[in-house]
């Protein structure tokens, strides 16, 4: 698990710029940082360079310096810069060794390098896991930048007529752009208001884009042309999902550093804990975020689960105050990102990394087995499908009453209205905050169905293309990597996912949700796991907004109007904040969005 970056073009980047890129990546890779540079003719060079690969390493497999990156082949004409972890590659590595490929390390990095030498991009089906990979092929004068199937690892990129650059984070890539080129993207800001995050391919900046999951970029070093390719779409496999789950978990315990588990009171992480115990991995320690004395606290449920399974357990208390850490957490979230659960997960990761360097998590179960309550709620309105009133129904308002909310919903398609169940600001509130902005899309999701039957599969497809990779998985990646902690997601192993797709709907989609998982979670039945009310991973947001962050309200509107170049109306921002402080509790998450946006834009302006 690491941070990666690179740039290729006519413009040499000075050593200070290269060092800035590495420094901004270093929390993701605290064990080693390296850069390999080439001149215009791709001869190795030092100092300023127009071409380079950069890497910050968190060493998990084969921690010796020999496995550091960027890594080149014996001839020095193929290079890899890689963030992630692939699993189960050893048999293919033995085949490559038998064919004459000489391995110097035990790392998956070197396997990918040799696999590309042997098979080119046809090696992608052999990669099982999470990855963001840059492969520089000087033989063919090509650069490939690849994002994993499910979207666990991030890639942002920049392309102009004479250059291409990429990085794991927006902040690292900003260090490459010349002064004056880091203009904010109005669509990116509006997307953040709409969704609490900025979905791919958008970012907060016009010149930076995010690579969607299951895609790769091919950059021609000679012509400077760029091509984006979708290389994977899920297909039902017909495989035994139980065996696939156990194999996924077993593979993700392989590491040369200590391994732990994020354990909540919910089903998904408990299933992973149950299977770990059943497979004999009883030395793996479980970690749980604790909110003592709060209705949000799941640590007692998690402790009972760990005790029943014989796993050691550590509760991690989330501090009552986030005031002093707020700027650092916003910085570690890279660009505007406003999931309230990011805060406890950041604290949980900070303490967990002191004991282990790899942790398994339960991300993905709700998207695979339709575990969110919002699915059932939205399906109740599926009768209207194509019926819509048009965007004229978006009344500029703060917190709409039932009629205005209904009009906002009817002003979008049924698929778009799904965002009103769980996203950030409804269209009327966005219009209020951005009075000078022309009508924008209701949502900024990609792969939106043009026609659908209004079924559950449509909502799951929207989430798998947008909410899961760009919200849930981005949160997990950023909050753990901020502390040099590798998060692995067994439920998002693509063979397991494709096996689940083969299940009959009646077995996959149940009420209560996820009943299919009972049979692989037998030790936990006595804990009434499947009868527990789903609580989510929620912090004491109202307390934080009323105390820790209260000093940030003064001047908030004026700051955001300046930072957004007038896109946000200062008086409207202050009106929303005042309404919340006057008792409109339903605006809490919207106010958090504005406070995070204020701090994030301030920081980004200093970096640009």
Q: What is the pLDDT of residue 382?
A: 83
What are the phi and psi torsion angles at 576 (to 5°)?
Answer: -65, -45
What is the pLDDT confidence band of residue 524, given thresholds at 50, 70 and 90? low
Quick check: 357 and 257 in contact, CB under 8 A? yes
DSSP 469: I
pLDDT band at 34 (very low <50, low <70, confident <90, very high): very high
Q: What is the pLDDT of residues 78-122, one digit of tens each?
A: 999 999 999 999 999 999 999 999 999 999 999 999 999 999 999
Q: What pLDDT, on the 0 to 100 scale, is given for residue 394?
A: 63
**Model confidence at 13, in pLDDT bands (50, 70, 90)?**
very high
Distance of alpha carbon 285 from alpha carbon 273, whole angstroms: 10
Q: What is the DSSP letter of 471?
A: I
Q: Residue 409 has what pLDDT? A: 79
342-352 helix and 473-481 helix, angle to the nearest 10 degrees: 40
Cβ–Cβ under 8 Å, residues 28 and 56 = yes
Report which secondary-structure segment, H or E, holds 431: helix 427-433
Place of tokens 């896991």: 129
Q: pLDDT at residue 404 above 90?
A: no
Which pLDDT tens digit goes with each residue over 595-608? 999 999 999 999 98
Cα distances (Å, whole numbers) of residue 491 to 27, 242, 302, 525: 26, 11, 19, 20
> Alpha-carbon distance 187 to 198, whole Å?
9
DSSP letters for 512-547: STTGGGGGG-GGGGGGTGGGSPP--S---HHHHHHT
Model pLDDT, residue 449: 81
| Contact between 32 and 185 (Cβ < 8 Å) | no
Between CA 98 and CA 289 the distance in angstroms is 48
CA 194 to chain centre: 17
Q: What pLDDT is stored for residue 535 in this prediction? A: 61
Rounded Cα gap, residues 115 and 93, in angstroms: 8
Contacts of 237 (CB under 8 A, 6+ apart): 495, 498, 499, 501, 502
295 Cβ contact partners less than 8 Å away, ≥ 6 residues apart = none
Predicted confidence (pLDDT) at residue 537 exceeds the cutoff of 70: no
pLDDT, mean over the chain: 93
Q: Which residues pair with 71 in a beta bridge?
A: 80
Q: Looking at residues 281-299, what average pLDDT do you find?
A: 89
Cα of first residue to Cα of last residue in the chain, in angstroms, is: 26
Q: What is the pLDDT of residue 521?
A: 87
Residue 71 pLDDT greater than 60, yes or no: yes
Region of 151 (left: φ > 0; alpha: ψ -120 to 50; beta: rest) is left
Ramachandran class of 276: left when φ > 0, alpha when ψ lies in -120 to 50, beta otherwise: alpha
Residue 254 sits at φ, ψ, to 5 deg, of -75, 120
Q: Which two tokens stand for residue 180?
A: 């004056």
- Residue 393 has what pLDDT? 53
Q: What is the C-alpha to C-alpha distance for residues 605 and 600, in angstroms, rounded to an integer?
A: 9
Average pLDDT score over residue span 277-306: 90
Per-residue exposure over 241-253, b if at least 16 CB sit within 10 Å of its own CB, e if not: beebbbbbbbbbb
Residue ranges of the alpha helices (H) in 196-341?
241-251, 267-278, 299-309, 326-332
Q: How far apart are CA 429 and CA 433, in angstroms?
A: 6
* Domain boundaries along the sequence of the chain: 2-230
Task: Tell whether the model's pLDDT for residue 391 goes beyond 70.
Answer: no
Please give the structure tokens belonging to residue 97: 């060794």
Strand order in the sheet with 486-488: 313-317, 285-290, 259-262, 358-360, 486-488
| Angle ∠(204,17,174) on CA atoms, nearest 5 | 0
Burial class (CB in 10 A: 0-12, 13-18, 19+), 402: exposed
pLDDT at 583: 93
The predicted-structure confidence for 152-182, as pLDDT tens digits, reads as follows: 999 999 999 899 999 999 999 999 999 888 9
Q: Under DSSP, is residue 30 helix (H, G, I), strand (E, B) or coil? A: strand
pLDDT at 292: 83
Q: In whole angstroms, what is the distance from residue 281 CA to residue 523 CA? A: 15
Express each pLDDT in 335-357 by its tens digit. Answer: 999 999 999 999 999 999 999 99
List of E strands, 161-205: 163-167
pLDDT band at 384 (very low <50, low <70, confident <90, very high): confident
For domain 2-230, give the fold: 3.60.20
What angle do the packed helices 241-251 and 267-278 form, to 10 degrees? 80
State the helix-helix crossing angle for 556-563 and 570-581, rounded to 10 degrees: 140
């Amino acid at each position: 698990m690491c941070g990666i970056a690179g740039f290729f073009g006519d413009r040499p980047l000075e050593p200070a710029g290269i060092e800035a890129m590495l420094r901004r990546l270093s929390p993701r890779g605290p064990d080693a940082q390296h850069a390999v540079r080439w001149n215009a003719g791709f001869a190795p060079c030092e100092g300023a360079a127009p071409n380079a690969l950069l890497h910050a390493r968190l060493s998990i497999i084969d921690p010796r310096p020999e496995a550091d990156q960027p890594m080149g082949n014996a001839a020095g004409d193929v290079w890899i810069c890689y963030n992630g972890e692939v699993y189960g590659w050893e048999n293919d590595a033995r085949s490559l060794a038998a064919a004459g490929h000489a391995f110097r390390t035990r790392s998956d990095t070197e396997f990918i390098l040799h696999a590309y030498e042997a098979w080119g991009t046809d090696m992608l089906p052999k990669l099982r896991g999470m990855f963001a990979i840059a492969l520089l092929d000087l033989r063919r004068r090509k650069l490939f930048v690849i994002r994993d199937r499910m979207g666990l690892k991030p890639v942002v990129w920049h392309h102009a007529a004479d250059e291409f650059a990429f990085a794991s984070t927006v902040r690292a890539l900003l260090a490459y752009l010349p002064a004056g080129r880091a203009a904010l993207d109005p669509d990116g800001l509006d997307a953040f208001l709409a969704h609490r995050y900025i979905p791919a391919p958008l970012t907060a900046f016009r010149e930076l884009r995010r690579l969607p999951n299951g895609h790769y970029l091919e950059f021609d070093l000679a012509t400077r042309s760029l091509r984006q390719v979708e290389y994977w779409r899920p297909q039902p496999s017909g495989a035994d999902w139980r065996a696939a789950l156990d194999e996924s978990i077993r593979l993700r315990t392989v590491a040369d550093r200590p391994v732990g588990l994020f354990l909540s009171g919910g089903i998904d992480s408990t299933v992973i804990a149950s299977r770990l115990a059943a497979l004999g991995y009883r030395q793996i320690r479980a970690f749980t975020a604790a909110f003592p004395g709060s209705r949000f606290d799941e640590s007692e449920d998690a402790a009972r689960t760990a005790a029943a399974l014989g796993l050691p357990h550590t509760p991690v208390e989330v501090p009552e105050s986030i005031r002093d850490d707020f700027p650092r957490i916003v910085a570690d979230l890279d660009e505007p990102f406003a999931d309230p659960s990011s805060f406890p997960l950041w604290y949980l990761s900070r303490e967990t990394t002191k004991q282990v360097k790899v942790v398994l998590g339960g991300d993905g179960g709700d998207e695979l087995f339709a575990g969110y309550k919002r699915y059932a709620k939205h399906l109740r309105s599926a009768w209207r499908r194509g019926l819509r009133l048009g965007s004229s129904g978006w009344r500029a308002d703060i917190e709409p009453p039932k009629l205005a909310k209904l009009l906002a919903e009817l002003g979008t398609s049924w698929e778009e209205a799904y965002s009103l169940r769980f996203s950030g600001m409804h269209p009327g509130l966005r219009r209020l905050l951005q009075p000078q902005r022309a009508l924008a899309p209701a949502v900024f999701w990609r792969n939106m169905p043009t026609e659908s039957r209004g079924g559950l599969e449509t909502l799951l497809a929207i989430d798998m293309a947008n909410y899961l990779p760009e919200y849930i998985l981005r949160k997990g990646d950023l909050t753990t990597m901020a502390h040099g902690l590798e998060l692995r997601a067994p439920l998002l192993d693509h063979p397991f996912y494709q096996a689940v797709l083969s299940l009959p709907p009646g077995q996959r989609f149940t009420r209560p949700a996820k009943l299919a998982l009972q049979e692989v979670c037998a030790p936990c039945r006595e804990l009434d796991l499947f009868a527990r009310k789903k609580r989510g991973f929620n912090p004491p947001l109202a307390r934080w907004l009323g105390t820790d962050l209260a000093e940030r309200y003064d001047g908030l509107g004026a700051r955001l109007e300046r930072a957004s170049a007038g896109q946000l109306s200062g008086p409207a921002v202050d009106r929303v904040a005042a309404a919340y402080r006057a008792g409109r509790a339903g605006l809490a998450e919207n106010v958090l969005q504005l406070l995070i946006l204020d701090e994030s834009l301030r920081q980004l302006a200093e970096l640009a």
